[in-house]
Structure 1
Amino acid sequence: MTNALLEAGFHGDVSVLDGPLLLRGLAHGPSLPAHRELWDEPARRTAQQLIELSWKIGLTGRGGAEFPFARKLQTAVESGRKRELVVNCSEGEPASAKDSALMLAAPHLVLDGAQLLAEALEIGHVHISVPGERLSVVQAVKAAIRERRRGRKAVAFELHVTSGGFVGGQARAVLEMVSGRDNLPVTAREPEAVAGLRGRPTMLSNAETLAHLAAVSDLGPETYMAQGTAAEPGTRLLSIAADGPGGLVLEAPYGVPLAELLSLCGYDPARPLLLGGYHGTWLAPYQVTNCTLSSQDIARFGARLGAGVLLPMLPGDCPLSYTAQIVDYLAQQRAKRCGPCTNGLPALASACMRLPGVRSRRESADLVQRIKELTGLVTGRGACAHPDGTARLVGSMLDTFAAEIENHVDGYCHYA
């Protein structure tokens, strides 16, 4: 069963497939009464109980960093100070739709997770950040918050709407917005769990992360761990080709072959795959067909699942041109707060846009060298991670498609 989302922030319809855990109730609808038919009212748990549950299932952040949730929670607990909780549903990347889908289809599972965490940390006020360009998500979360006011009232939810754009959902950009400042990232000297909102230890957690917390608390670790593998139990929400018409959001258990997932969605697994989104890593066809949905397995190829964005390359697509278009978009989405963003990314985009059309081997070699120099200049020098992520994408293109660059010099593309 699918539920099509018509959304201003998406470039067409994004369909959501029923899943085994978080998305198992699509037919019931998103209301609180419908949600309670599947999920019980969260039982109060201590912070230590949540830490133990999170370690047991290996829960990691699903916003892109994949940092162990239990370690972040332990840091906040050990601070001994007043804490804050921010739920980040602000997908700024056009290719990421899984948090928006979750907030449209099962918002109360996310709010259950936030309630569990807030009560365990004695936080009475929870901030929720949603993407400004996805108006249906804004309205869905508003409706869910109104429904919660009729239930347990120990936790108050406050909605914050980003100004939109790629960097608007970045962790520090969200904290700046919640603080009443511009929705742009700033340099952080300490992690949010140490010093975040108002300088307090802050649990800034992704929507999917909190949904998993609610699910394991309700089902128990044994039932939860029936999905996935022994090394990586549970599931992942995946956005597949969500930046174009016909995109999908689905929930898959860890351990499923990537080729099987892509075939299920109608894509050819024997073509390159951009894994991890616009700041992600290219996988060559042989890597795609020899890899499973597993952070550990994917790491063999120098890649990460990140926020669970999969961008399969369609027939006729040129990987060099496709990458260049993404880099050009990313250069326009810069925060303009540092040199690498203001000057480096536009220069990098310009060089990448030229690459597919070069027909001289000397010019091609010089341009590749220039691109490498630019990626080195922007890496590690930005006010946020935006330049680093863009450089990672470009470096992956150069590594994965070195032979393809030579083909373009000869006037043809192997994939197009």
Structure 2
Amino acid sequence: MFSPETRLATGAGLLQGPVWFDSVDAVPFEPVFAESLHQHTVRLGPRPAGSGALIDVIESRGEGGRGGAWFPVAAKWRSMLAQPPGGVVVGNGAEGEPASAKDAAVLQSRPHLVLDGIEIAAEAVGATEMIIWLHEGDDRTELAVREALAQRQQNGPRGAIRVEVGPAGYLTGESSAVIRGLSGGPALPMFRHAPATVSGVGGRPTLLHNVETLARIALVARYGLVPDTRLLTITGDGGRTAIEIDPAATITDAVVAGGVEEKTLQAVLLGGYGGQWLPWSDAAGLPLSALGKSLGAGILIPLARNRCGLRLTAELDHYLAAASARQCGPCMFGLPALADLFRQVADGGGGRRHLRRVRELLDEVTGRGACHLPEAAVNITTTALACFAADVDSHVNRGRCLHG
């Protein structure tokens, strides 16, 4: 659906300098762009120790997790500190969302910043085990992390950080799926009664952070006040561009920084495959700071005027249905039915009868899944019907696409 080519645009803080990626699963390869431990230390100085005092700094900054949920980092740390020492810290670098590249960008270009962050967090909360969780097939990322770990071992004894690789999939990077996978079970979402900080990997207290969050912790520990930048992935037919940008910037600023011509656009999908469609006329001037959780893990998918938003949404609905963990009825039956019906609407078949049934299914699936997957399909489909209302009318009533 989208080219795997990724471009990393210039930015300050977490990302520095333009770096080009070829195919993310190409082998053999040489990650010559990864910052070495020596370069990292010259640029930022030695890693500071983690301490309880850092929690107050993080709380004062209002730092939220950058994996998509934006849960307060300080609240997680305080919950972890209330448990017996000897827990686990997990850095989640598994980007199940196919439209995202920001975590790979950080790990491949600035791996030591993430490794500093996981060590600082472990020291601050009294954890004794540290794990970086990656997806199978993320070979370039895995090699960058393993080489960085080897450099740190050569530099002297450090805390033991290990890499664990789980199956690639849309849901296998979800937090409870990561905990389940690291505990010896399938890497699938689970019904969890206790938070991970109380009972996580193997029943031990577990602090799980997205790798961007850990990288920011490493900067906050050094400087206290650091720019509150946003890492975004701008995804289109030409590939994915990971950028770092000021939150005061607009959506137009972001897509232009990602190499997209804004004059060619009709709409944008905020937040990736489970996000929401907005007409470009409504979205263009919105500042990133006003979007909150609607950006999810920081994904913008601009849609050109010559592309059909209904057909793209139908493709994404089918992807989400295929990604199901098949652990509950809405995923097993509701999502495939929704995807099939919406494809027929997008293809101009079935008339108003199919459109009516799509709306009924959206109501039936809403709020009923064991994980966020049904809600993802509901979000993207419901907002597509509103955003592309004229297209819906043309497809349903005239059997004709407005975009050829």
TM-score (structure 1 length as normaliser): 0.87
Number of residue pairs the alignment of both structures matches: 388
Give the distance between the partners of 2:375 and 2:87, measured in 1 at CA: 30
Q: C-alpha displacement at 1:347, in angstroms?
A: 0.7
Query: Which of 10, 16, 23 pairs up with 2:8?
Result: 16
Alpha carbons 2:136, 2:168 under 8 Å: kept:
yes
Deviation track 1:370-393 (CA, whole Å, cap 9, x = no partner) reads 222222322322222212222221
Query: Which of 125, 132, 135 pairs up with 1:131?
Result: 135
Please tell me whether residue 259 in structure 1 is matched to residue 252 in structure 2. yes
Alpha carbons 2:87, 2:129 under 8 Å: kept:
no
Please tell me whether residue 236 in structure 1 is matched to residue 230 in structure 2. yes
Give the distance between the partners of 1:84 and 1:10, measured in 2 at CA: 36
Alpha carbons 2:86, 2:128 under 8 Å: kept:
no
Q: C-alpha displacement at 1:132, in angstroms?
A: 0.8
Matching residue of 1:173: 177
Matching residue of 1:380: 367
Alpha carbons 2:152, 2:158 under 8 Å: kept:
no
Q: C-alpha displacement at 1:216, in angstroms?
A: 1.6
Moved more, 266-275 or 92-101: 266-275
Structure 2: gaps spanning 5 or more residues: 20-32
Deviation track 1:328-367 (CA, whole Å, cap 9, x = no partner) reads 011111111221111111111101111123367xx32x32
Q: C-alpha displacement at 1:327, in angstroms?
A: 0.7
Please tell me whether residue 116 in structure 1 is matched to residue 111 in structure 2. no
Matches within 5 A, 1:385-400: 385-400=372-387
Give the distance between the partners of 1:257 and 1:291, measured in 2 at CA: 5
Please tell me whether residue 406 in structure 1 is matched to residue 366 in structure 2. no
* Distance change (3 Å), C-alpha of 1:370 and 1:189: farther
Q: C-alpha displacement at 1:399, in angstroms?
A: 2.5
Matching residue of 1:213: 217
Query: Which of 84, 88, 98 pairs up with 1:84?
Result: 88
Q: Residue 174 of structure 1: SS of its match in structure 2? A: helix
Deviation track 1:97-117 (CA, whole Å, cap 9, x = no partner) reads 110111110011011110100
Give the distance between the partners of 1:184 and 1:146, measured in 2 at CA: 31
Please tell me whether residue 248 in structure 1 is matched to residue 253 in structure 2. no
Please tell me whether residue 277 in structure 1 is matched to residue 272 in structure 2. yes
Alpha carbons 1:127, 1:159 under 8 Å: kept:
yes
Q: C-alpha displacement at 1:281, in angstroms?
A: 0.8
Q: C-alpha displacement at 1:317, in angstroms?
A: 1.0
Alpha carbons 2:34, 2:108 under 8 Å: kept:
no
Please tell me whether residue 318 in structure 1 is matched to residue 303 in structure 2. no
Structure 1: gaps spanning 5 or more residues: 1-8, 228-233
Alpha carbons 2:2, 2:239 under 8 Å: kept:
no
Q: C-alpha displacement at 1:306, in angstroms?
A: 0.7
Please tell me whether residue 162 in structure 1 is matched to residue 154 in structure 2. no
Give the distance between the partners of 2:88 and 2:287, measured in 1 at CA: 36
Please tell me whether residue 290 in structure 1 is matched to residue 278 in structure 2. no
Task: Give, as a single letter, the amino acid of the residue that structure 1 aligns with 2:7.
Answer: S
Give the distance between the partners of 1:201 and 1:328, measured in 2 at CA: 37
Q: C-alpha displacement at 1:271, in angstroms?
A: 2.0
Query: Which of 191, 196, 200 pairs up with 1:196?
Result: 200
Q: C-alpha displacement at 1:10, in angstroms?
A: 7.6
Give the distance between the partners of 2:349 and 2:370, measured in 1 at CA: 37
TM-score (structure 2 length as normaliser): 0.90
Matching residue of 1:6: none
Moved more, 265-274 or 315-324: 265-274
Moved more, 145-154 or 134-143: 145-154
* Distance change (3 Å), C-alpha of 1:379 and 1:201: farther
Give the distance between the partners of 1:157 and 1:25, measured in 2 at CA: 27
Alpha carbons 2:85, 2:127 under 8 Å: kept:
no
Give the distance between the partners of 2:177 and 2:205, measured in 1 at CA: 16
Give the distance between the partners of 1:99 and 1:147, measured in 2 at CA: 21
Alpha carbons 1:25, 1:106 under 8 Å: kept:
no
Please tell me whether residue 268 in structure 1 is matched to residue 273 in structure 2. no
Give the distance between the partners of 1:70 and 1:122, measured in 2 at CA: 15
Q: C-alpha displacement at 1:319, in angstroms?
A: 0.6
Alpha carbons 1:83, 1:201 under 8 Å: kept:
yes
Q: Taking every aligned residue pair, what percent have the same amino acid on both sides?
A: 34
Give the distance between the partners of 2:383 and 2:344, measured in 1 at CA: 17
